[in-house]
Amino acid sequence: MLNVSETIYAQFANSPRIRTIISSMDQSLDPRSLIETFFFNVLDLETATGWGLDVWGRIVGVSRVIEVASGRWFGFNGASDATNTITPFDEAPFFNVSSSDGLTSNYVLSDDAFRKLILAKAAANITNGSITALNSILMTLFGSDTQHIWVEEDTSTRTLTIIFDFDISLVDATILETSGVLPRPTGVSIRYRRKTS
């Protein structure tokens, strides 16, 4: 409480024992520090950590743990994904979902990476799905002063191409492909391409 003396009846105002009991209870039960800690660690997304970010992730619909492909396998689409884990014939084994040879592994995102993913997913939840909105989400996730990533559309082939001018990590590629951050129109395929200078 801000002013304990206002809560004491006038007949007990001069009782040292009652004032001591009430003052000690006030010090023990004062919620101001807990409210500030809760606001800093949970409620404010910019400063939230750990469990607070996990709550935000559940609210917007993303998980801190993502499954990252850790092997290379033969694929029919060529190396069209951002991870470059799909290779042509005779360069890698066939992919076997039921095998237990460790082709995938769980990766826990750091607080900073998870915060960026939460912000991007929140933007995707309210986006209008335009190319401008997709570019904004991509720049939120991966962009910086020196790194650029954007979407180009090809209406003749109904394809969106995500183009980046930097080496994308396996974790970032997995976020792009499997986290559900990028809204995709029905019937439109997504391709990835690294732009070289």
pLDDT in tens, 112-142: 888 888 888 888 888 887 888 888 888 877 7
Quick one: CA dihedral 41, 42, 43, 47, positive or negative?
positive
pLDDT in tens, 52-108: 999 999 999 888 888 766 555 555 544 444 555 555 555 555 555 544 455 557 778
pLDDT in tens, 144-191: 777 788 888 887 888 888 888 887 777 777 777 777 777 777 777 777
Domain boundaries, the chain: 4-30, 65-194
Q: Look at residue 106 and give its three-state secondary structure.
A: strand
What gap in Å lies between CA 66 and CA 62, rounded to an integer?
A: 9
> What is the CA angle 9-14-17, rounded to 5?
95
